Amino acid sequence: MGATAGRGRAKAALALALGLALLRLLRTFSSLIDYENVTKTYPNGTTALNGVTLSIAEAEFVFVVGASGSGKTTMLKLLLKEEEATGGRVLINGLDLAAIGHKGIPYLRRNIGIVFQDFRLLKRKTVYENVAFAMEVVGAPTKDIRRHVPWALSLVGLSKKADMYPSELSGGEQQRAALARAIINNPPILVADEPTGNLDPDASMEIMKLLREINGIGATVVVATHERHIVDSMRMRVVEIDAGEIVRDQLKGHYRNEISDDPLYI
């Protein structure tokens, strides 16, 4: 990366850090995200979560791991209010999400950046337009869009591809564009559901490095994944779900439970 590009990324990182610092001044609770004895049972009788209790602090990086169908995605959907808990409570900064009505959901999601496995970019919009659209839908002034989109693209290394369309990008580049879109409104929480599921190993590590960088300047990052090599190499907090229950919560954990001196939360 050239000196100019490096300075651009540094400025972008600083801007994001300042925005998150302002949010921290408003916080009064010891944890940012709380699941309190949460149960989720679907109408067909399937129990996706059973008595899940978990607290995630501000600026933590947490991997949620487990087999397909273990409940990882359900946990994220409850956080986004795409699903409602059958029992227990899900809270963000002390606010019970059950108290948020339908009209309040868009405001909740403005505080949560979302990265999907399949990118979900708008095919007929350029990279710049995809990222700008996330600001347009929340009513951001045009002058702010023109200022913020370039720094987000700089942060993820896509400044030179702003005018390209998703079909002209590699899978890794599409996911970086999706990540820029997720952080453009400075959300204090970033949620990623299998963000590297469609990427090769090298592109996967690039995305995880970017997530770690964003976490390093203040964002709380929650990643649901089945990518063992990524979890093992990064050694962050690992929460393992099995049949809807938390069976392991470990600092500096591995994908699988292994003999270790690292402390456990449970």
37-55 pLDDT tens trace: 999 999 999 999 999 999 9
Residue 245 in any domain: the answer is yes
Least confident of 114-118, 122-126, 157-161, 240-244: 114-118
In a domain, 18, yes or no: yes
What pLDDT score was predicted for residue 257? 73
Residue 218 lies in a domain: yes
Q: Residue 145 belongs to a domain with what CATH number?
A: 3.40.50.300
The pLDDT value given to residue 28? 47
Q: Which strands sit side by side in the sheet containing 95-96, from one edge to the other? A: 47-56, 33-41, 87-92, 95-96
- Report d(CA 28, CA 9) in Å as an integer: 31
Q: Quote the pLDDT of residue 256.
A: 84
pLDDT score of 260 more than 60: no
| 257 contacts: CB under 8 Å, gap ≥ 6 | 240, 248, 250
Q: Is residue 228 part of a domain?
A: yes
CA distances 150 to 143, 176, 262, Å, are 12, 13, 41
Closest CA to 73 of 40, 102, 28, 33: 40
Residue range(s) defining the domain that contains residue 236: 3-29+58-67+112-250
Q: How many domains does the chain have?
A: 1
Strand partners, 38: 52
Residue 195 lies in a domain: yes
Rounded Cα distance between 114 and 106, Å, is 13
User: Is residue 186 situated within a structural domain?
Assistant: yes
pLDDT tens per residue, range 166-213: 999 999 999 999 999 999 999 999 999 999 988 999 999 999 999 999
- Torsion angle in degrees (nearest 10) through CA of 63, 64, 68, 74: -130
For 59-112, the pLDDT digits (tens) are 999 999 999 999 999 999 999 999 999 999 999 999 999 999 999 998 898 899
- Does some domain include residue 16? yes
| Whole-number pLDDT of residue 27 | 47
The answer to whether residue 11 is domain-embedded is yes
In the prediction, which pLDDT does 164 show? 98
For residues 86 and 41, the answer to whether their CB atoms sit within 8 Å is yes
